[in-house]
């Protein structure tokens, strides 16, 4: 009886849909979470509302390194904030010599610190609202357990049961 119910679930459309969806989900989380070397980077750590309404704290921001930047480009760059290196995302308001003057869209005045090109990670090319919040939740301890580890353990268990049922079926035949 229990064997039949488990076998029915393993052969259901729900399970057939869930398995590839889950694998794609995990791959996307890894891609957006890992800092993979290359021209593209994804950022979920907007620490302030300085770029509202264009970029809010919960957005996923895709950044691409380019050879030249111009006024009005939104760039992500490294800055020393309160003794720690932070990644800031602001708009270029002027270029003078070999440095950029930046400003958050929600800020009244331009930033005091000038940004040399060597500190620029890249230009913002895509902003996906609210996806950054979801990725941040998944990257947390409980989010990782709930969204990645627990489903993976369930899939491994179900596939183990499928193997056992198949072995039992073959031994009977």
Residue 49: pLDDT band by 50, 70, 90 thresholds? confident
99 pLDDT higher than 90: yes
Q: Which one of 2.10.109.10, 2.30.42.10, 1.20.210.10, 1.10.1370.30 gives the CATH number of domain 37-129? A: 2.10.109.10
- Mean pLDDT over 80-109 rounds to 91
Domain ranges of the chain: 1-34+132-166, 37-129
The total of other beta-carbon atoms located within 10 Å of residue 14's CB is 8
Do 66 and 124 contact (CB within 8 A), yes or no? no
> SS3 of 125, please?
strand
Interacting residues of 117 by C-beta distance below 8 A, sequence separation 6+: 69, 98, 99, 100
Kindly report the average pLDDT of the chain as a whole number.
87
3 pLDDT higher than 80: no
Block residue for tokens 């930033």: 111
2 pLDDT higher than 90: no
Residue 76: closest CA among 33, 47, 108: 47
Q: What is the pLDDT of residue 157?
A: 87
Query: What are the structure tokens assigned to 107, written together?
Result: 């800020």
Task: State percent of the chain over pLDDT 70.
Answer: 97
- Mean pLDDT over 93-99 rounds to 92
Q: What is the pLDDT of residue 106?
A: 92
Reported as a single tens digit per residue, the pLDDT across 114-136 is: 999 999 999 999 999 888 888 88
Count Cα atoms within 13 angstroms, Cβ side, for 80. Answer: 4
Do 100 and 115 contact (CB within 8 A), yes or no? yes
Q: What is the pLDDT of residue 19?
A: 85
Q: What is the pLDDT of residue 73?
A: 96
C-alpha 42/C-alpha 111 separation (Å) is 23
Count Cα atoms within 13 angstroms, Cβ side, for 143. Answer: 10
């Amino acid at each position: 009886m229990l064997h039949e119910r488990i076998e029915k679930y393993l052969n259901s459309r729900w399970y057939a849909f869930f398995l590839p969806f889950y694998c794609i989900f995990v791959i996307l989380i890894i891609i957006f979470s890992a800092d993979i070397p290359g021209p593209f980077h994804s950022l979920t750590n907007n620490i302030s509302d300085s770029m509202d309404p264009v970029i809010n704290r919960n957005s996923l921001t895709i950044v691409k390194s380019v050879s030249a930047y111009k006024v009005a480009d939104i760039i992500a760059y490294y800055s020393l904030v309160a003794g720690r290196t932070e990644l800031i995302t602001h708009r270029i308001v002027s270029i003078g010599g070999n440095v950029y003057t930046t400003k958050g869209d929600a800020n009244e005045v331009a930033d005091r610190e000038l940004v040399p090109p060597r500190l620029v990670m890249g230009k913002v090319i895509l902003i996906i609202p609210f996806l950054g919040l979801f990725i941040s939740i998944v990257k947390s301890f409980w989010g990782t357990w709930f969204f990645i580890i627990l489903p993976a353990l369930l899939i491994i268990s179900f596939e183990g049961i499928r193997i056992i049922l198949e072995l039992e079926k073959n031994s009977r035949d």
